[in-house]
């Protein structure tokens, strides 16, 4: 019995020594964006909305019937976008400073360092 306990203790000690946490994982944050989209045509409900960073989708969802949505994805640094696929953005309101509509009106650019955004209303064209 004592021998088995010693072996189990040694195994636990060795596994603790050889198990490492990745430093990269400890430094990854989440980008969190929520809000409501206003549009008269319900077709926009059929298209996903995305968070995009460096042309890669980091989060995807479909808006609810009310137009509300929540997106969350991995974020480390840099600007990223709230992006619609087939609908152009006319205007938006938020208390977050620095957000702006992209030149093609298909996305809202979110500045570096912002990890949490609430869009009170996003109105589509």
DSSP for 77-101 reads SS-EEEEESS--EEEEEESSTT-EE
Question: Among candidates 71, 68, 67, which has minimal Cα distance to 50?
Answer: 71
Residue 43 in this model has a pLDDT that exceeds 90 = no
What was the pLDDT predicted at 23?
Answer: 47
* Three-class secondary structure of residue 10 per DSSP: helix
Query: What tens digit of pLDDT does each residue of 10-38 get?
Result: 555 445 545 554 445 545 689 999 999 98
DSSP for 50-68 reads EEEETTEEEEEE---TTSE
Query: What tens digit of pLDDT does each residue of 46-100 get?
Result: 889 999 999 999 999 999 989 999 999 999 899 999 999 888 999 999 999 999 9
pLDDT band at 120 (very low <50, low <70, confident <90, very high): very high
Residue 74: strand pairing partners: 30
Predicted model pTM: 0.76
Delineate the domains of the chain, giving CATH numbers in brackets.
26-124 (2.60.40.10)
Give the list of residues 6+ apart from residue 110 with CB closer than 8 angstroms, or none.
31, 33, 79, 80, 81, 82, 96, 98, 99, 117
d(CA 99, CA 81): 9
């Amino acid at each position: 019995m004592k021998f088995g306990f010693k072996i189990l203790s040694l195994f636990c000690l060795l596994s603790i020594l050889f198990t490492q946490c990745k430093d990269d994982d400890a430094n990854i944050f989440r980008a969190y964006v929520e809000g409501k989209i206003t549009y008269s045509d319900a077709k926009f409900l059929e298209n996903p909305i995305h968070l995009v960073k460096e042309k890669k989708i980091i989060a995807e969802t479909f808006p609810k019937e009310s137009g509300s949505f929540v997106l969350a994805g991995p974020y480390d640094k840099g600007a990223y976008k709230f992006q619609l696929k087939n609908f152009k953005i006319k205007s938006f309101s938020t208390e977050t400073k620095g957000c702006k509509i992209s030149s093609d009106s298909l996305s809202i650019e979110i500045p570096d360092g912002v990890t949490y955004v609430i869009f009170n209303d996003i109105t589509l064209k």
